[in-house]
């Protein structure tokens, strides 16, 4: 509001306008003084001058109120308004300096925050990968891993909420219809290469890979006939890995189809070996040391009578006899001792 406009409305209006401006500036700069008191030492260099200026405003405001009570002439109001304008200019200068300093400080803080966020974004993927590897190695259950992720998320880490997302568990697996059920072949050579790559120091000292093959049926539910027939392979003391999996309501209806992929690959590996493409390791010769099966799986793979049949013996052709709820084979000694 200009000086001429105040004078046009009379001295009393001029006094009220000047008083309103003074009180408004006092409240604003009083708030800024409180804010500057909480800044760092570097920012507090501006607080003495700002505090002195605020005291001048208070003093001049009191003088102005004493002078306004008399209401003698328009010149006194004009002088007070002019001094108030000078104070406004001083405060504007301080504001401009403070704004420049605040903008530079805010830009530095924002730059530092961006660098911290970049560091966190680089660190979190590595942490998530390490956590997934740890959970896989320690064989953590899904419920326990979900609880751990919930705790870490409460601490501010950007991690998935569910363990299946962390472990990148596929939502679906492509299988084929085979042997009367669903069949999935993962591969023998790929599993052997993974075991060798994880234990290079051990396999640098050997030339032959002695494999143990395990085949057995596993029921999945007590209230259902769904069962799995996996083909597992292990190399001596190392943990076995899955070569193929069959799932259906019954056992595979064809042994030839069930073992075709596995027998084709293991025959190829026995003939050509397996090569790591590494000068320190070279090529391995693949040998089958044993097939590990129970009685029912052994009779299924060998296409012989089951262990509870009358002609279940694999060494003779003698018919068994049912005696006291037990089927047994009675051997006749044909040798003279």
Domain definitions of the chain by residue range: 3-111, 176-303, 307-337
Structure tokens at 276: 């790591």
Segments of the chain with pLDDT less than 50: 1-4, 42-51, 54, 57-58, 64, 68-102, 104-105, 120-122, 332-337
The pTM for the full model equals: 0.57
Q: How much is the pLDDT for 26?
A: 73
Q: How much is the pLDDT for 279?
A: 55
The dihedral over CA atoms of 192, 198, 200, 201, expressed in degrees to the nearest 10, equals: -130
Q: For 248-266, write each residue's pLDDT tens digit.
A: 999 999 999 999 999 999 9
- Rounded to whole angstroms, the Cα distance separating 119 from 98 reads 31
DSSP assignment of 103-146 equals HHHHHHHHHHHHHHHHHHHHHHHHHHHHHHHHHHHTT--HHHHH
Q: For 153-192, write each residue's pLDDT tens digit.
A: 999 888 999 999 999 999 888 999 999 999 999 999 999 9
DSSP assignment of 216-228 equals --EE--SSS--EE
Q: How much is the pLDDT for 135?
A: 93
Q: How much is the pLDDT for 47?
A: 44
Structure tokens at 4: 């001429």
Q: How much is the pLDDT for 188?
A: 96
Residue ranges of E strands in the chain: 176-178, 181-185, 208-215, 218-219, 227-235, 241-248, 274-275, 283-292, 321-323, 326-328
Q: For 272-302, write each residue's pLDDT tens digit.
A: 999 887 656 778 999 999 999 999 999 999 9
Q: Alpha carbon of 88 to those of 8, 82, 104, 117: distances in Å?
A: 22, 10, 24, 41
As a whole-number percent, the residues of the chain with pLDDT over 90 amount to: 39
- Rounded to whole angstroms, the Cα distance separating 315 from 278 reads 46
What angle is formed at CA 117 by the lines to CA 113 and CA 119, rounded to 5 degrees? 115
Q: How much is the pLDDT for 314?
A: 83
Q: How much is the pLDDT for 12?
A: 56
Evaluate whether 195 touches 235 at the Cβ level (below 8 Å). Answer: yes
């Amino acid at each position: 509001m200009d000086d001429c406009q105040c004078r046009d409305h009379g001295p009393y209006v001029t006094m009220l306008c000047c008083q309103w401006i003074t009180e408004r500036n006092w409240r604003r700069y009083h708030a800024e003084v409180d804010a500057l008191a909480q800044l760092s030492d570097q920012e507090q260099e501006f607080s003495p001058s700002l505090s002195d200026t605020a005291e001048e405003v208070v003093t001049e405001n009191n003088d102005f109120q004493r002078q306004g009570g008399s209401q003698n002439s328009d010149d006194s109001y004009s002088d007070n308004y002019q001094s108030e304008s000078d104070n406004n200019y001083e405060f504007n200068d301080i504001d401009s300096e403070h704004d420049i300093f605040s903008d530079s400080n805010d830009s530095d803080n924002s730059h530092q925050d961006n660098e911290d966020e970049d560091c966190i974004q680089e660190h979190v993927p590595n942490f998530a990968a390490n956590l997934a590897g740890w959970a896989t190695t320690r064989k953590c259950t899904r419920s326990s891993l979900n609880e751990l992720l919930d705790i870490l998320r409460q601490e501010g880490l950007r991690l998935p909420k569910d363990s299946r997302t962390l472990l990148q568990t596929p939502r679906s697996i492509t299988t084929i219809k085979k042997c009367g059920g669903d069949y999935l072949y993962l591969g023998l050579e790929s599993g052997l290469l993974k075991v060798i790559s994880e234990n290079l120091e051990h396999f640098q000292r050997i030339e032959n890979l002695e494999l143990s093959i395990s085949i057995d049926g596993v029921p999945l539910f007590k209230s259902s006939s769904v069962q799995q027939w996996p083909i597992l392979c292990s190399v001596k003391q190392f943990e076995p890995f899955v070569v193929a999996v069959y799932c259906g309501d019954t056992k595979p209806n064809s042994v030839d189809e069930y073992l075709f992929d596995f027998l084709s690959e293991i025959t190829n590996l026995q003939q050509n070996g397996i090569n790591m493409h590494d000068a320190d390791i070279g090529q391995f010769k693949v040998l089958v040391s044993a097939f590990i099966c129970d009685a029912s799986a052994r009779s299924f793979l060998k296409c012989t009578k089951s262990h509870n049949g009358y002609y279940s013996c694999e060494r003779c052709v003698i018919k068994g006899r049912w005696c006291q709820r037990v089927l047994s084979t009675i051997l006749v000694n044909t040798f003279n001792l």
